Amino acid sequence: MASISFCKECNNLLYPREDKVHHVLMYACRNCPYEEETHNPCVYKHDLIVAAKETAGVTQDLETDPTLPRSNITCPRCHRTLVFQRHALHSGHQESVFFGDQGRRAQTSMTLFYNCTNCHRTFLDPKLTQRRKEQAAQQQ
Protein backbone atom coordinates (compact mmCIF):
# COMPACT_ATOMS: atom_id res chain seq x y z
CA MET A 1 0.00 0.00 0.00
CA ALA A 2 1.23 3.49 -0.78
CA SER A 3 2.08 5.85 2.02
CA ILE A 4 2.51 9.59 2.28
CA SER A 5 6.03 10.83 2.95
CA PHE A 6 7.11 14.19 4.29
CA CYS A 7 10.32 16.15 3.88
CA LYS A 8 12.72 15.72 6.79
CA GLU A 9 14.01 19.29 6.33
CA CYS A 10 10.88 21.43 5.86
CA ASN A 11 8.01 18.98 6.63
CA ASN A 12 6.28 19.50 3.27
CA LEU A 13 4.76 16.68 1.24
CA LEU A 14 7.17 14.64 -0.90
CA TYR A 15 6.19 13.89 -4.50
CA PRO A 16 7.30 10.94 -6.67
CA ARG A 17 10.01 11.77 -9.19
CA GLU A 18 12.15 9.63 -11.46
CA ASP A 19 15.93 9.76 -11.15
CA LYS A 20 16.67 9.59 -14.88
CA VAL A 21 20.37 8.81 -14.39
CA HIS A 22 19.97 5.79 -12.08
CA HIS A 23 16.43 4.88 -13.22
CA VAL A 24 14.98 4.70 -9.72
CA LEU A 25 11.90 6.22 -8.18
CA MET A 26 12.58 9.04 -5.73
CA TYR A 27 10.49 11.17 -3.41
CA ALA A 28 11.39 14.84 -3.82
CA CYS A 29 10.35 17.98 -2.00
CA ARG A 30 9.03 20.83 -4.14
CA ASN A 31 10.12 23.48 -1.63
CA CYS A 32 13.71 22.48 -0.88
CA PRO A 33 16.36 20.22 -2.48
CA TYR A 34 15.63 17.24 -0.20
CA GLU A 35 14.96 13.87 -1.86
CA GLU A 36 15.03 10.24 -0.83
CA GLU A 37 14.79 6.89 -2.58
CA THR A 38 11.47 5.09 -2.20
CA HIS A 39 11.07 1.77 -0.45
CA ASN A 40 8.26 0.75 -2.78
CA PRO A 41 8.78 1.36 -6.52
CA CYS A 42 5.04 1.34 -7.29
CA VAL A 43 3.12 4.57 -7.83
CA TYR A 44 -0.63 4.45 -7.26
CA LYS A 45 -3.16 6.82 -8.74
CA HIS A 46 -6.61 6.67 -7.23
CA ASP A 47 -9.34 8.70 -8.94
CA LEU A 48 -12.57 8.99 -7.02
CA ILE A 49 -15.60 9.24 -9.24
CA VAL A 50 -18.60 10.32 -7.26
CA ALA A 51 -22.03 10.08 -8.84
CA ALA A 52 -23.46 13.13 -7.13
CA LYS A 53 -26.57 14.97 -8.13
CA GLU A 54 -26.34 18.65 -8.92
CA THR A 55 -26.94 20.70 -5.83
CA ALA A 56 -27.65 24.36 -5.45
CA GLY A 57 -26.05 24.52 -2.01
CA VAL A 58 -26.94 27.38 0.31
CA THR A 59 -29.30 29.77 -1.50
CA GLN A 60 -30.38 31.98 1.36
CA ASP A 61 -30.09 35.72 0.62
CA LEU A 62 -28.74 35.22 -2.91
CA GLU A 63 -30.88 38.00 -4.31
CA THR A 64 -29.03 40.54 -2.14
CA ASP A 65 -25.63 39.61 -3.60
CA PRO A 66 -24.78 42.36 -6.11
CA THR A 67 -21.93 40.31 -7.64
CA LEU A 68 -24.17 37.54 -9.02
CA PRO A 69 -25.47 37.86 -12.59
CA ARG A 70 -29.17 38.51 -13.17
CA SER A 71 -31.55 37.19 -15.81
CA ASN A 72 -35.00 37.71 -17.32
CA ILE A 73 -36.75 34.38 -16.87
CA THR A 74 -40.16 33.01 -15.85
CA CYS A 75 -40.29 31.35 -12.45
CA PRO A 76 -41.97 27.90 -12.56
CA ARG A 77 -43.54 28.39 -9.10
CA CYS A 78 -45.02 31.90 -9.15
CA HIS A 79 -45.15 32.13 -12.99
CA ARG A 80 -44.07 35.74 -12.96
CA THR A 81 -41.96 36.95 -15.80
CA LEU A 82 -39.07 38.32 -13.90
CA VAL A 83 -38.01 41.56 -15.53
CA PHE A 84 -34.40 42.52 -15.01
CA GLN A 85 -33.55 46.18 -14.88
CA ARG A 86 -30.09 47.42 -14.02
CA HIS A 87 -29.71 49.14 -10.66
CA ALA A 88 -33.09 47.75 -9.59
CA LEU A 89 -31.75 45.44 -6.88
CA HIS A 90 -33.86 46.90 -4.07
CA SER A 91 -36.44 48.91 -6.02
CA GLY A 92 -39.16 46.25 -6.20
CA HIS A 93 -38.44 45.02 -9.73
CA GLN A 94 -38.38 41.24 -10.02
CA GLU A 95 -35.52 39.29 -11.49
CA SER A 96 -33.78 36.01 -11.10
CA VAL A 97 -30.25 35.49 -9.83
CA PHE A 98 -28.32 32.64 -11.43
CA PHE A 99 -25.18 30.74 -10.49
CA GLY A 100 -23.28 27.58 -11.44
CA ASP A 101 -23.34 24.14 -9.86
CA GLN A 102 -21.05 23.96 -6.84
CA GLY A 103 -20.05 20.37 -7.57
CA ARG A 104 -16.87 19.54 -9.46
CA ARG A 105 -17.14 16.94 -12.18
CA ALA A 106 -14.83 16.46 -15.13
CA GLN A 107 -17.33 14.52 -17.25
CA THR A 108 -20.36 16.80 -17.07
CA SER A 109 -21.15 20.29 -18.18
CA MET A 110 -21.90 23.09 -15.78
CA THR A 111 -25.46 23.31 -14.47
CA LEU A 112 -27.07 26.72 -13.99
CA PHE A 113 -29.43 27.29 -11.07
CA TYR A 114 -31.83 30.23 -10.89
CA ASN A 115 -33.17 31.79 -7.72
CA CYS A 116 -36.42 33.77 -8.04
CA THR A 117 -36.24 37.08 -6.19
CA ASN A 118 -40.04 37.09 -5.84
CA CYS A 119 -40.80 33.69 -4.23
CA HIS A 120 -37.17 32.66 -3.48
CA ARG A 121 -37.49 29.30 -5.22
CA THR A 122 -34.31 27.77 -6.66
CA PHE A 123 -34.83 26.02 -9.99
CA LEU A 124 -32.73 24.52 -12.78
CA ASP A 125 -31.98 26.17 -16.07
CA PRO A 126 -35.18 25.57 -18.13
CA LYS A 127 -33.16 24.92 -21.31
CA LEU A 128 -31.12 22.23 -19.54
CA THR A 129 -34.28 20.62 -18.14
CA GLN A 130 -35.84 20.50 -21.62
CA ARG A 131 -32.64 19.09 -23.14
CA ARG A 132 -32.50 16.33 -20.51
CA LYS A 133 -36.14 15.38 -21.20
CA GLU A 134 -35.40 15.16 -24.94
CA GLN A 135 -32.32 13.01 -24.34
CA ALA A 136 -34.27 10.67 -22.04
CA ALA A 137 -37.00 10.31 -24.70
CA GLN A 138 -34.40 9.46 -27.37
CA GLN A 139 -32.84 6.76 -25.19
CA GLN A 140 -36.17 4.95 -24.74
Residue 121's domain is classified under what CATH number? 2.20.25.10
Residue 42 marked in a binding site: no
Residue 119 marked in a binding site: yes
DSSP β-bridge partners for residue 37: 26
137: left (phi over 0), alpha (psi -120 to 50) or beta: alpha
57 lies in some domain = no
Highest mean pLDDT of the ranges 21-25, 28-32, 96-100: 28-32
Report the domain count for the chain. Answer: 2
pLDDT band at 113 (very low <50, low <70, confident <90, very high): confident
Find out whether 139 and 118 touch, Cβ atoms under 8 Å: no
Residue 7 marked in a binding site: yes
pLDDT band at 27 (very low <50, low <70, confident <90, very high): very high
What is the percent of the chain with per-residue pLDDT over 90, rounded to a whole number? Answer: 16
Report which DSSP code applies to 97.
E
What's the number of CA atoms in the CB half-sphere (13 Å) around residue 59?
A: 21
Helix (H) or strand (E) holding 136: helix 126-139
> Of 7-21, 23-37, 61-75, 105-119, which gets the smallest average pLDDT?
105-119
Segments forming the whole domain that contains residue 68 = 62-139
Q: Are 88 and 33 in the same domain? A: no
What's the number of CA atoms in the CB half-sphere (13 Å) around residue 67?
A: 0
Q: Are 37 and 69 in the same domain? A: no
Distance CA(91)–CA(70), nearest Å, equals: 15
Mean pLDDT of 111-117: 76
What is the percent of the chain with per-residue pLDDT over 70, rounded to a whole number? Answer: 64
101 lies in some domain = yes
Residue 29 marked in a binding site: yes
Residue 10 marked in a binding site: yes
Distance CA(16)–CA(39), nearest Å, equals: 12
Find out whether 68 and 98 touch, Cβ atoms under 8 Å: yes
